[in-house]
Chain A
């Protein structure tokens, strides 16, 4: 018997196959399924029908969309609420619905193919049984914490019971995605189904059908008691039955969270609280705590900032410049250094033929080894097989000359930061490539128009500023000049997106956007050091403000020589506004060989194999040489923090004022993803909005009185300070 109940305009169709109701989720208006108010309502209706239908003994819940089960709750639904209470009510509605699912008299099997995240996962774990496809696209997780929220539809209560306290905390506090095979091991899903290849239908379609067939079989098996739904008691459950063990876990997790978040993020602490309440005081208190905390968190500025970043990230993963005329099939990289090889690695593993060119055999060998190591590490982590690693590497050609460059569609140069060398390679490249080939420069500070000055075809010249380490840093800053053609930009963005980057496109100028914001902050950091603050203290001040990496460590990571170079160049371009610390401090360090992490010594001493790092003892002498006397009026811990941050923020706002930045959103994304601006603040522009431009200006005026024009607020910032209704983000 097969009755098709087609419900007009509904996202779900439920079909009865024998005695199993198959409920299919399919949001007609979107590529992904999300949990919205409407969907909850419809789901309740469908489930009522299923429960009322005597012919149905069990149900299968499945998505018709390939690659997505339910991607999570609808964020806009949460954001459109006007009060914490309203959000709490939303959470309670969700809790109620999933409680009904959990208590369903007819077993419900969740058949998961594709992303099963957030509310989707909470839905799945409320079901009696879960079957997932062993596909790479199938991931389970609770990413709420990354939006400053918590799993608010029963997740904090059900997960600990299902996977145990430690795993539940790990999932909810990191928000990481868990692949199907791992989920099976953890007990998050009961059974796995292999994805299928082509048969009588496409692999995607057939895999969904197969998943459904298997899920139906299991649903019947559960009804016939052939398949047990209770997991066996494990040793872990026994251990967790002791209160002192649980208390120890709460304590450990709490201190870990405090150490990593510096207490700047409320969500992780609330998650711990909800779990603890549920486990120790029972479900009624637990669910109440969950819904109330969810409501509160949704109204925090941290959550607002993180959700803003999420939206920004989505926006920066789109190509706003159209489809390029030619797809880049072969990409050449000049210079096999850290950056060049990094770019090669993220390109070649996307199936693009990649040419890595260097001038010396040793340089090339080092670069190729870096690419190999990057891929081999993935093999060790079992992200790819050794076979995949080898076939990816077969797409990489290492060479010392320009042979075959006529077939290259795009060249990215990552040679030494010297305008003369850049000009030389540009001319060499233009002599051998075909007319359509794009020349991109990976420079962190040299203006692109200066580089393009040597070009015969400046419309094909563009800047692509990657961040080190390239395979870890998500940001790509693309710089266009007045002459860069739209198609060139479209092509560069397309390549960046293929490389998996979050992209901001900015105007040309010394230091573009990111380097220009970082330079004054580093100049201030040097001054702080000169004023006698020790590098460790400087790091602590910056990280406690929310920067993931402290200022001194950041300088070491970037490279003291690079910092010196940039400081000098930008100092020349922008004058005294970029002053503060003495550039000679950096230069002296470089002369002594303290170039940062890469040379083993910088502000700190780096020893291979050692995780802890000690302050470089010799740096004291250098700083002593350039000692400055701190002014106690502006040297409290908080003042030092705001001196660092306000210069960063002011420069960012100035970039928007000058049109280097197109909009505040890209400014926030660039600062957070490229420079590690505190994510809890959402970027410099959102920070101004939430902190108040007037308050910031007030602080800057105070610093200005002591240090001068380095702290003069720019006009746009002043405008915002004057009119509090002016906001960068609506």
Chain B
């Protein structure tokens, strides 16, 4: 009976074109409801005829550490290598069984990225992958590794590849600091100078002003505003109080601590840091009292702001990696996939006043694509850039006015229930290595679905430039 219903269900979503499928989504939802009444545990699957099922086989990450701690003397590719090696070990994957490697990072290390192939080779060959595997780096701010994964999904869906390794790394203990533009110009001219006279002339032209370095911009390019400043304004715009933010931050740390103690963070691999000990735990989790939280001064908008160091995500070093495959390939290789990677969307909005509202825009859009509603989702994992940003997004999703005015909806989007939301901590407590967080979110959703027995998970994240990402993940039948 149930299988019959299921096949009707599938039949209904079979449509020649994407647009028609979307148009039918209300219809499929009504089927979905009947289905739910018959069978509570296993809802319809999001599999779509003609579209390859893409599965997450495994996901790992190095422990996420506060910048300037145990990883301080490494290079970014060392961390990346650790994550990739960990993935190889965990999966027992033959080193030539990967078709393509895509890696995300935000602040690029000049030394290794100036020559792309060299950079990737540093990471991949060092990690033991075959030198026959092509690879490239992607960057999309805080959703770089999301972009790495979805690029991989695209390659598999298009039939170009069957097996992809995606991941990301960020290393904030050391960032490239450039010479000033004037100095660079002089140095480049110097390398072209032919005579001693020319060289001396150029050297003589160097002034004190040439020597002041150029730090990597932490500010938004279009607005010159730092992200923390924007987060503070966003929180104020939605009337998020300091107490609400501190409470959410405490929640994140408390849940992370619980998850860590209970051994739920299985994606963390141990990593022997050269010259130091073996690291096997995230070190940024710190459960504080509300009183301690309240003592901190505002970090960006001084003195009356509400965003503090304690209710923001901290500068983190870390790397992550996932193995994604077409379902057939995974099964053929004898893997037991963790989850299906289903619909995903990227969104973009005003980088000034809506810089961090990506989840609000992405969530309804991806749900609509997948033909699901908020109540279908069992597991939510949102990237926690700032507690104020999360609270603002929740308030935006709960506001009819915002839904009507900015999302073009008849009413509010609705908020994820907190009992399903970021239950194992989040970026606030675990840390946020920009380029690596996306893979952590996907892996966490998969692991939580397995652990909690849910069927659908949803992840959402915001990123610089006013961008955002959301993805629906479906549990692989146990």
- Is the A/B pair a real complex? yes
Contact (Cβ within 8 A) B239 A197: no
Contact (Cβ within 8 A) A198 B233: no
Chain B residue with Cβ nearest A387: B222
**Cα distance A417–B204 when bound, in Å?**
53
B252 within 8 A of A: no
Chain B residue with Cβ nearest A196: B237
A698 within 8 A of B: no
Contact (Cβ within 8 A) A194 B402: no
Of the candidates B304, B353, B406, the one having the most CB atoms from chain A within 10 angstroms of its own CB is: B304
B18 within 8 A of A: no
Chain A residue with Cβ nearest B400: A200
Given known pairs A194-B301, A214-B304, the reply for A199 and B223 (CB within 8 Å) is no
**Cα distance A206–B240 when bound, in Å?**
12
Q: Beta-carbon contacts of A362-388 to B below 8 Å, as 1s and 0s?
A: 000000000000000000000001010
Contact (Cβ within 8 A) B401 A200: yes
**Cα distance A210–B405 when bound, in Å?**
20
Q: Which of B171-226 contact A (CB under 8 A)?
A: 221-224
Contact (Cβ within 8 A) B402 A200: yes
A611 within 8 A of B: no
B421 within 8 A of A: no
Contact (Cβ within 8 A) B237 A199: yes
Contact (Cβ within 8 A) B406 A198: yes
**Cα distance A532–B162 when bound, in Å?**
94
Chain A residue with Cβ nearest B240: A199
Contact (Cβ within 8 A) B353 A197: yes
Contact (Cβ within 8 A) A200 B222: no
**Cα distance A203–B405 when bound, in Å?**
12
Contact (Cβ within 8 A) A200 B238: yes
Q: Beta-carbon contacts of B381-415 to A below 8 Å, as 1s and 0s?
A: 00000000000100110010110011000000000
Chain B residue with Cβ nearest A200: B399
Shortest beta-carbon distance, B220 to chain A, in Å?
9
**Cα distance A196–B225 when bound, in Å?**
13
Contact (Cβ within 8 A) B224 A196: no
Shortest beta-carbon distance, A269 to chain B, in Å?
42
Q: Which of A328-387 contact B (CB under 8 A)?
A: 385, 387
B67 within 8 A of A: no
Q: Which A residues are CB-close (under 8 A) to B315? A: none
Shortest beta-carbon distance, A16 to chain B, in Å?
21
Contact (Cβ within 8 A) B354 A196: no
Chain A residue with Cβ nearest B222: A387
Contact (Cβ within 8 A) A197 B350: yes
A225 within 8 A of B: no
Contact (Cβ within 8 A) A201 B354: no
Q: Beta-carbon contacts of B291-327 to A below 8 Å, as 1s and 0s?
A: 0000000000100100000000000000000000000
Chain B residue with Cβ nearest A210: B236
Shortest beta-carbon distance, A445 to chain B, in Å?
45
Contact (Cβ within 8 A) A197 B237: yes
Contact (Cβ within 8 A) A385 B352: no
Q: Which A residues are CB-close (under 8 A) to B236? A: 194, 196, 199, 206, 210
Of the candidates A196, A202, A206, the one having the most CB atoms from chain B within 10 angstroms of its own CB is: A196
Q: Which B residues are CB-close (under 8 A) to A387? A: 221-223
B234 within 8 A of A: yes
**Cα distance A662–B347 when bound, in Å?**
55
Of the candidates A196, A198, A210, the one having the most CB atoms from chain B within 10 angstroms of its own CB is: A198
**Cα distance A197–B402 when bound, in Å?**
12
A45 within 8 A of B: no
Q: Which B residues are CB-close (under 8 A) to A201? A: 401
Contact (Cβ within 8 A) B392 A199: yes
Contact (Cβ within 8 A) A199 B222: no
**Cα distance A217–B303 when bound, in Å?**
11
Q: Which B residues are CB-close (under 8 A) to A196? A: 233, 236-237, 353
Q: Which of B328-385 contact A (CB under 8 A)?
A: 350, 352-354
Q: Which of B236-275 contact A (CB under 8 A)?
A: 236-239
**Cα distance A203–B224 when bound, in Å?**
20
Q: Beta-carbon contacts of A212-244 to B below 8 Å, as 1s and 0s?
A: 001001100000000000000000000000000
Contact (Cβ within 8 A) A206 B304: no
Q: Which of B400-435 contact A (CB under 8 A)?
A: 401-402, 405-406
Q: Which B residues are CB-close (under 8 A) to A214? A: 304
Contact (Cβ within 8 A) B353 A203: yes
**Cα distance A206–B221 when bound, in Å?**
25
Q: Which of A174-191 contact B (CB under 8 A)?
A: 191
Contact (Cβ within 8 A) B239 A200: yes
Given known pairs A199-B392, A200-B395, the reply for A206 and B237 (CB within 8 Å) is yes
Kindly identify which residue among B239, B301, B350, B352 contacts A199, using a CB–CB cutoff of 8 Å. B239
Contact (Cβ within 8 A) A197 B233: yes
Kindly identify which residue among B224, B234, B301, B401 contacts A197, using a CB–CB cutoff of 8 Å. B234
Q: Which B residues are CB-close (under 8 A) to A210? A: 236-237
Shortest beta-carbon distance, B355 to chain A, in Å?
9
Chain A residue with Cβ nearest B350: A197
Shortest beta-carbon distance, B17 to chain A, in Å?
32
Chain A residue with Cβ nearest B301: A194
Shortest beta-carbon distance, B354 to chain A, in Å?
6
Chain B residue with Cβ nearest A385: B224
Contact (Cβ within 8 A) B223 A194: no
Given known pairs A196-B233, A198-B402, A385-B224, the reply for A217 and B239 (CB within 8 Å) is no
Contact (Cβ within 8 A) A198 B237: yes
**Cα distance A193–B229 when bound, in Å?**
12
Shortest beta-carbon distance, A192 to chain B, in Å?
9
Q: Which B residues are CB-close (under 8 A) to A197? A: 233-234, 237, 350, 352-354
Given known pairs A210-B236, A387-B221, A387-B222, the reply for A198 and B304 (CB within 8 Å) is no
Shortest beta-carbon distance, A196 to chain B, in Å?
4
Chain A residue with Cβ nearest B401: A200
Q: Which A residues are CB-close (under 8 A) to B354? A: 197-198
**Cα distance A407–B350 when bound, in Å?**
28
**Cα distance A199–B392 when bound, in Å?**
8
Contact (Cβ within 8 A) B233 A194: yes
Of the candidates B239, B301, B401, B406, the one having the most CB atoms from chain A within 10 angstroms of its own CB is: B239
Q: Which B residues are CB-close (under 8 A) to A203? A: 237, 353
**Cα distance A385–B220 when bound, in Å?**
12
**Cα distance A210–B353 when bound, in Å?**
15
Q: Which A residues are CB-close (under 8 A) to B237? A: 196-200, 203, 206, 210
**Cα distance A194–B225 when bound, in Å?**
11
Q: Which A residues are CB-close (under 8 A) to B406? A: 198
**Cα distance A218–B303 when bound, in Å?**
10
**Cα distance A206–B399 when bound, in Å?**
14
**Cα distance A193–B233 when bound, in Å?**
10
Shortest beta-carbon distance, B155 to chain A, in Å?
33
Shortest beta-carbon distance, B455 to chain A, in Å?
33
Chain B residue with Cβ nearest A217: B304
Q: Which A residues are CB-close (under 8 A) to B353? A: 196-198, 203
Q: Which A residues are CB-close (under 8 A) to B234? A: 197, 199
Chain A residue with Cβ nearest B305: A194
Shortest beta-carbon distance, A60 to chain B, in Å?
14
**Cα distance A202–B404 when bound, in Å?**
12
**Cα distance A293–B392 when bound, in Å?**
54
Shortest beta-carbon distance, A145 to chain B, in Å?
34
**Cα distance A217–B305 when bound, in Å?**
11
Given known pairs A387-B221, A387-B222, A387-B223, the reply for A199 and B304 (CB within 8 Å) is no
Residues of A within 8 A of B (CB): 191, 193-194, 196-203, 206, 210, 214, 217-218, 385, 387
5 closest cross-chain pairs (CB), A and B: A197-B353, A199-B237, A196-B237, A199-B238, A387-B222
Residues of B within 8 A of A (CB): 221-224, 229, 232-234, 236-239, 301, 304, 350, 352-354, 392, 395-396, 399, 401-402, 405-406
Return 27 A-B CB contacts under 8 Å, by A number. A191-B304, A194-B229, A194-B233, A194-B301, A196-B237, A196-B353, A197-B350, A198-B237, A198-B354, A199-B234, A199-B238, A199-B239, A199-B396, A200-B237, A200-B395, A200-B399, A200-B401, A200-B402, A201-B401, A203-B237, A203-B353, A206-B236, A206-B237, A210-B237, A217-B304, A387-B221, A387-B222
Knowing that A201-B401, A387-B223 touch, tell me 8 more A-B residue pairs with CB under 8 angstroms: A194-B301, A196-B233, A196-B237, A198-B237, A198-B354, A199-B239, A203-B353, A214-B304
